[in-house]
């Protein structure tokens, strides 16, 4: 008499089982994170009350917020412009530095 092998689980069945496990782990992580944040905020609130901290006190130790637009430049976004006093031509810092700027000096030609 020949033995029959049990049917093997398909790759799809394996995938669906692992996906379900992942959903369960993600749910547990989310729940733990909510509890962790609540616990942390409770500790922070206790410290604020105990040490009578103000928003100004916290500004000294908290990092500055990052720009919401990833393309936004950090720091100064204004570029200086220069005007040739003789001809009125303007150079805004892009490209080769004009000879008239060297002749008159940047301070004499600065407009912004």
CB-based contacts of 108: which residues, under 8 Å, 6+ apart? Answer: 85
Whether 93 and 81 have beta carbons less than 8 Å apart is answered as yes
CA dist., res. 41 & res. 60, Å (int) = 19
At residue 32's C-alpha, the angle toward residues 26 and 38, to 5°, is: 140
Alpha helices in the chain (DSSP H): 11-51, 55-59, 99-104, 106-109
Cα dihedral sign, 90-93-98-103: positive
Q: What is the pLDDT of residue 78?
A: 66
* Residue count of the chain: 112
pLDDT score, position 99: 87
Structure tokens of 93?
């810092």
Residue range 63-106, pLDDT digits in tens:
877 666 656 555 556 677 888 888 888 888 888 888 888 888 88
Q: Would you state the pLDDT for residue 96?
A: 85
Quote the pLDDT of residue 33.
95
What pLDDT does residue 90 have? 86
pLDDT, one tens digit per residue, over 2-56 is: 566 767 889 999 999 999 999 999 999 999 999 999 999 999 999 999 999 998 8
């Amino acid at each position: 008499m020949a033995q029959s092998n049990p049917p093997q689980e398909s790759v799809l069945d394996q995938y669906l089982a692992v996906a379900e496990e992942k959903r369960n782990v993600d749910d547990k992580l989310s729940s733990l994170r909510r509890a962790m944040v609540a616990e942390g905020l409770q500790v922070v609130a206790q410290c604020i009350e105990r040490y009578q901290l103000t928003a100004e006190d916290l500004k000294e130790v908290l990092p500055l917020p990052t720009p919401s637009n990833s393309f936004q430049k950090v720091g100064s976004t204004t570029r200086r412009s220069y005007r040739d006093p003789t001809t009125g031509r303007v150079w805004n810092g892009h490209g080769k530095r004009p000879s008239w700027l060297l002749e008159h000096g940047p301070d004499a030609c600065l407009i912004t």
